Structure 1
């Protein structure tokens, strides 16, 4: 079970996030001080750090800079009430994997947590992903179906990768938006439907099933 470190000095927020993550199957630990957050994050006991910017002793940016300066690759999602583009850019440039402004919806936070943990766990994954007669080569970014090479854009390839890593599983539009489009996704967008149509046109409509009210499934 993945353990998540929550560095947040507002008890109402940390309690809300902790309970939600534990309900989703994660272990959590809350810390309210930046220096202590850094110490715990460096132990290697956690799979992800949720890092508030406004912490006592060391703010979130300093914690992150020190973490990366010591060579840690621990996934970090920054949480902050600061919503300016400059703050977002500063956080990402400092080495954050994601940046979520407050207030946020828990479902969105959970989706991003899952994405960052998945990205971290697949960093050493095999260089090819195969399901039946379809193979994706992660290094060359080539797709082959039934011996025929398929020309895919970067987004199409990323979407196909999500399906092939989860064959037979229903993936919601929200999951696909978060995993493929990341920070740029708009929950109200129909971009997933558009790109699923592109993939059906290239791989064959019979490979991707629409699960009404739930999402899509690669057969």
Structure 2
């Protein structure tokens, strides 16, 4: 799951990036309004954490520009401002949630996961598809016989992407975009390698290959 973090405090941004990656996110980081505007319109994200007080502009202006351009992914505003009017203005500009500094990283992660679930039309942190259940908090997979299997970070991100839309064909490029950030340089065959590893857990018939198109998760029981 790919996330954009817009935060001008580099120390805070570095710390958040480490914690968010542990929670299963792939993070692109920017410290300016200008770059945030460009990334938001050029890249595909599942969610955005947006600081309001940026050195070259106002985060609300960035948000308004995104929404005017029909960029629809969920946005959580992160700011040091505690005034209720800032919260109202942010929500009116198109934000989905609001968190004032200082905050606990656990709360930020929980709020992000919640707004992504709402976007997917889900309530719970357990993703169910066919005979399988994926626990997003514990990053583990429950098989049809009740056995639990722990997943690596990349295995978890890839399986979550596939299970979030059973029957939908994801191209290799789409999967790469959600698994890795702009600074990563994965090899060309990395997706195939992880697909093989996941098939050992869920079975070859559960993750199908559409030649020339991509991969899909078959949720048939």
Do both proteins adopt the same fold according to a TM-score greater than 0.5, normalized to the shorter chain?
A: yes
The change in CA–CA distance for 1:162 and 1:105 in structure 2 (over 3 A counts) is same
Match of 1:18 in 2: 17
Cα shift readout 1:113-164 (whole Å, capped 9, x = no counterpart): 1011112223xx8xxxxxxxxxxxxxxxxxxxxxxxxxxxxxxxxxxx6499
CA deviation after TM superposition for structure 1 residue 51, in Å: 0.4
The change in CA–CA distance for 1:165 and 1:17 in structure 2 (over 3 A counts) is closer
The change in CA–CA distance for 1:54 and 1:119 in structure 2 (over 3 A counts) is same
TM-score, L = length of structure 1:
0.56
Structure 2 Cα separation of the partners of residues 171 and 35 of structure 1: 33
* Matched length: 134
Are 1:35 and 2:47 matched, yes or no? no
Alignment of 1:1-219 (within 5 A): 2-122=1-121, 162=124
Cα shift readout 1:14-34 (whole Å, capped 9, x = no counterpart): 011100000111110110110
CA deviation after TM superposition for structure 1 residue 53, in Å: 0.3
Structure 1 Cα separation of the partners of residues 14 and 53 of structure 2: 17
Structure 2 Cα separation of the partners of residues 73 and 121 of structure 1: 13
Secondary structure of the corresponding residue to residue 99 of structure 2: strand
Structure 2 Cα separation of the partners of residues 104 and 55 of structure 1: 18
Cα shift readout 1:56-102 (whole Å, capped 9, x = no counterpart): 22210100011111111121001000001111111011100001000
Structure 2 Cα separation of the partners of residues 36 and 169 of structure 1: 34
The structure that has the greater radius of gyration is: 1
Backbone CA RMSD of aligned residues: 2.5
Structure 2 Cα separation of the partners of residues 30 and 68 of structure 1: 20
- Could you tell me whether the CA contact under 8 Å between 2:127 and 2:133 is conserved in 1? no
The change in CA–CA distance for 1:85 and 1:171 in structure 2 (over 3 A counts) is same
- Could you tell me whether the CA contact under 8 Å between 2:127 and 2:135 is conserved in 1? no
Cα shift readout 1:148-207 (whole Å, capped 9, x = no counterpart): xxxxxxxxxxxxx649976988899xxxxxxxxxxxxxxxxxxxxxxxxxxxxxxxxxxx
The change in CA–CA distance for 1:165 and 1:20 in structure 2 (over 3 A counts) is closer
For CA contacts below 8 A with separation 6 or more, give which structure has more relative contact order.
2
Structure 1 Cα separation of the partners of residues 135 and 62 of structure 2: 38
Question: 5+ unaligned residues in a row in structure 2: which ranges?
Answer: 138-221
TM-score, L = length of structure 2:
0.55
The change in CA–CA distance for 1:36 and 1:162 in structure 2 (over 3 A counts) is same
Question: 5+ unaligned residues in a row in structure 1: which ranges?
Answer: 126-160, 173-219
